[in-house]
């Protein structure tokens, strides 16, 4: 498999999960680590998107008269309500929380949506601009969710191959400790 710049490109390439039986256990584990790292990153992006979507929805409710509090007053509740308990992955404390700057054509939509400072000028946006931002956030969330499904599918296929090897005795069970 030819290395590509972005991990998501590696994972979405059909070659990433083809001929798994020809790979060494170390190669399978390396691919699984890529998937774990990518899932953590995509989970982080998704949480960031959901936070922005919640803030935008609040602002739209406030403008329609359904909400009387200011965004600042409601912020703790908005952020707390977005947490639905433990997820599949806990974001590591040492995960760098810097996002790429949006610099023009060729960047991912997620970079643009998360790099956009719409929150700083939220009060000055008109209804059409709010709907446009809402549409961009929803599209980015669908894209990230689709990427996560691809990651999960590849993870399952690699895990199935590793399990098959242990079940059939072609992998040494003593190396399970090395995996941790």
pTM (predicted TM-score): 0.74
Segment 58-106, tens digit of pLDDT: 999 999 999 999 888 988 888 777 544 334 444 455 545 444 333 334 4
Tokens 């703790």 -> residue? 76
How many whole angstroms separate alpha carbon 150 and alpha carbon 48? Answer: 20
Angle at CA of residue 67, ends 64 and 72, nearest 5°: 115
pLDDT value at position 64? 93
pLDDT value at position 101? 39
CB 112 within 8 A of CB 24: no
* C-alpha torsion angle, residues 161, 167, 168, 173 (rounded to 10): 90
Burial of 104 (0-12, 13-18, 19+ CB in 10 A): exposed
How many whole angstroms separate alpha carbon 60 and alpha carbon 21? Answer: 52
How many whole angstroms separate alpha carbon 176 and alpha carbon 109? Answer: 39
- Average pLDDT of the chain is 80
Q: Of 37, 116, 110, 51, whose CA–CA distance to 79 is shortest?
A: 51
């Amino acid at each position: 498999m030819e290395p590509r710049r972005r991990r998501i490109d590696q994972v979405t390439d059909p070659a990433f999960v083809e001929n798994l039986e020809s790979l060494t256990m170390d190669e399978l584990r390396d691919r699984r680590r890529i998937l774990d790292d990518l899932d953590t990153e995509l989970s982080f992006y998704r949480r960031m998107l959901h936070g922005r979507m919640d803030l935008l929805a609040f602002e739209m409710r406030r403008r329609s008269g359904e909400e009387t509090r200011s965004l600042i007053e409601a912020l703790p509740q908005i952020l707390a309500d977005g947490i639905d308990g433990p997820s599949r992955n806990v974001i590591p404390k040492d995960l760098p929380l810097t996002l790429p700057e949006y610099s023009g054509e060729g960047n991912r939509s997620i970079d643009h949506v998360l790099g956009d400072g719409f929150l700083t000028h939220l009060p000055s946006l008109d209804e059409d601009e709010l709907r446009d931002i809402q549409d961009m956030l929803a599209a980015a969330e669908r894209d990230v969710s689709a990427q996560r499904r691809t990651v999960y599918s590849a993870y399952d296929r690699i895990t199935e191959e590793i399990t098959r090897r242990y079940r059939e005795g072609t992998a040494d069970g003593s190396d399970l400790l090395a995996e941790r």
